[in-house]
Structure 1
Amino acid sequence: MSCQQTILDYGLRSLGYGERLLPKSDFTLCQHFTLIGSGLIWNIYFGALALLIGFFIANAMALAKASPRAMLRRPAEWFILIFRGSPLFIQFFLAYFIFLRLKQQGLLPWLTAAQFGALLVLILNTAAYSAEIFYGALRSVPNGEVEAADAYGLTGWSRFRRVIWPTSLRLAWPAYTNEAIFLFHATTLVFFSGFPAWQQR
């Protein structure tokens, strides 16, 4: 079998298209790379979407945690505590059984599929870890930059958007890239946790 035929047969195998059975003889390097690459499609899907959506939730949670208002701060603190204080694997199992119970009640049946339910767990998990990173960065913004913004007449949202937020992102970047790497590693746990993928059995 040529490498081109191998890619056509197995390139989208993880999405349920192409040959279902694995090759049984003459296992070539091309077949190895094609099968691994096919599985990576799901990892990229979970990782990219969880990072994108989780980034915005994390920023909102960090701002809520930094808020002087208890009605904003307390829920953010509990959210971060729960999702950072429990193993991701356990979160997958609990979420799957909760989503399965909702499906049995006729509510949100699509959440039991990996591409939605497991993605939601990954989003919430990375949002909690990233929120703590962004919160620490917000607390680390130098007072001199804030005072300089005040001297220029920037206040409120304008000061936050032009000075505080960009500086906090710059400070958070090294730790946030580590979280992104850990998240891509964690996507492999999805298929050990009971979530069935689209067209998978």
Structure 2
Amino acid sequence: MSCWQTIQDYALRSVSGDYNLLGWEFTIHAERLLPKTDFTLCQQFTLIGSGMIWNVYFGVLALLVGFFIASAVAVGKSARSAWLRKPSEWFIFVFRGSPLFIQFFFAYAVFLKLKQAGYMPWLTSAQAGALVVLVLNTAAYSGEIFFGALKSVPKGDIEAAQAYGITGWSRFRRITWPTMLRLAWPAYTNEAIFLFHATTLVFFSGFPTWRQQGDALYYASYFADKTFNPFVPYPILAGYFILLTLCVIGLYGLINKRLNRHLPVERKRKLRIRPNLIR
């Protein structure tokens, strides 16, 4: 089998199946059976790359949803009312104080009980339940980052806004929130990088893969088990994540330039990537 034929057969294996999106039905075709013998580099690159689709899915959606939750949590933690402040503080404390790996198992146990009771059975699937855990986890870490930035907003900016008659929601939307993002963005970029790396933990969680169509680590582990040689599939997996990290750095760097476009050159905050070695 040629490499091009392998790509055609396996490139979309991790997402193959029948779909119904808003009444529009379509099918993604791919080879169902995994290779059993004579494993080639092309097969390993293709299948591990196919699994990366799920890692990107988990990371992108968790960041999009978690960003807005984190903003609300940061505002809640800085509120004067204890009814808003205490739930935000406890939310951050619980999800930052417990390992992400344990959160996956605990969430699966809870979602399984709900499924047995007849409520929301879809939450026990990896593409839904694991995503919920990642959203809440990144929202807690990002919320603490945003809270620190919110407290660092210069008082002079607030006083200047008040002098111009900008108060309430308008002041938050036009002054406070953009300044908070500008101050928090370098640290938030590190959180985004770590989140994409953390998506590999879904493979070890209790959430089952959909029809044996797992993420990139699923396929890397498959090849390592079959060939008894982990020094080929795992470096391939690491290479894919390095490329993904470079994409995140590039995209977030462009956003960082946009947020700091009004500042003089000497005051612009540059991104400093400091990946977390342990969560």
Normalised to the residue count of structure 1, the TM-score between the two structures is 0.95
Q: 1:157: Cα distance to partner?
A: 0.8
1:7 equivalenced with 2:7 (yes/no): yes
- Paired residues, number: 200
| Whole-Å separation in 1 of the counterparts to 2:15 and 2:187 | 33
Partner of 1:148: 160
Range that drifts further, 30-39 or 175-184: 30-39
Per the alignment, in what secondary structure is the counterpart of residue 199 of structure 1? helix
**1:94-105 map, 5 Å:** 94-105=106-117
| Whole-Å separation in 1 of the counterparts to 2:210 and 2:38 | 28
Q: 1:26: Cα distance to partner?
A: 5.3
* Preserved contact between residue 88 and residue 125 of structure 1 (Cα < 8 Å): yes
Label 1:123 to 1:26 Cα distance change in 2 as closer, same or farther (>3 A).
closer
Residue identity opposite 1:24 in structure 2? T
Partner of 1:69: 81
Partner of 2:169: 157
Coordinate RMSD, CA, aligned: 1.3
Q: 1:12: Cα distance to partner?
A: 1.9
Partner of 1:25: 38
Partner of 1:195: 207
Residue identity opposite 2:75 in structure 1? L
**1:59-138 map, 5 Å:** 59-138=71-150
1:99-145 deviations in Å (ceiling 9; x for gaps): 11111111111100001000000000000000000000000001111
Q: Percent identity?
A: 70
| Whole-Å separation in 1 of the counterparts to 2:128 and 2:43 | 29
Normalised to the residue count of structure 2, the TM-score between the two structures is 0.69
1:26-59 deviations in Å (ceiling 9; x for gaps): 513x223211211100000000000000000000
Ranked by relative contact order (alpha carbons within 8 Å, sequence separation 6 or more), the top structure is 1
| Whole-Å separation in 1 of the counterparts to 2:39 and 2:77 | 57
Per the alignment, in what secondary structure is the counterpart of residue 124 of structure 1? helix
Range that drifts further, 190-199 or 52-61: 190-199
| Whole-Å separation in 2 of the counterparts to 1:22 and 1:77 | 49
Q: 1:197: Cα distance to partner?
A: 2.4
Residue identity opposite 2:34 in structure 1? L
- Structure 2: segments with no counterpart, 5+ residues: 17-29, 214-279
Q: 1:3: Cα distance to partner?
A: 1.9
| Structure having the larger proportion of residues in helix | 1
| Whole-Å separation in 1 of the counterparts to 2:173 and 2:206 | 42
* Preserved contact between residue 15 and residue 200 of structure 1 (Cα < 8 Å): no
| Whole-Å separation in 1 of the counterparts to 2:209 and 2:8 | 21
Per the alignment, in what secondary structure is the counterpart of residue 212 of structure 2? coil
| Whole-Å separation in 2 of the counterparts to 1:18 and 1:12 | 9
Partner of 1:54: 66
Residue identity opposite 2:38 in structure 1? S
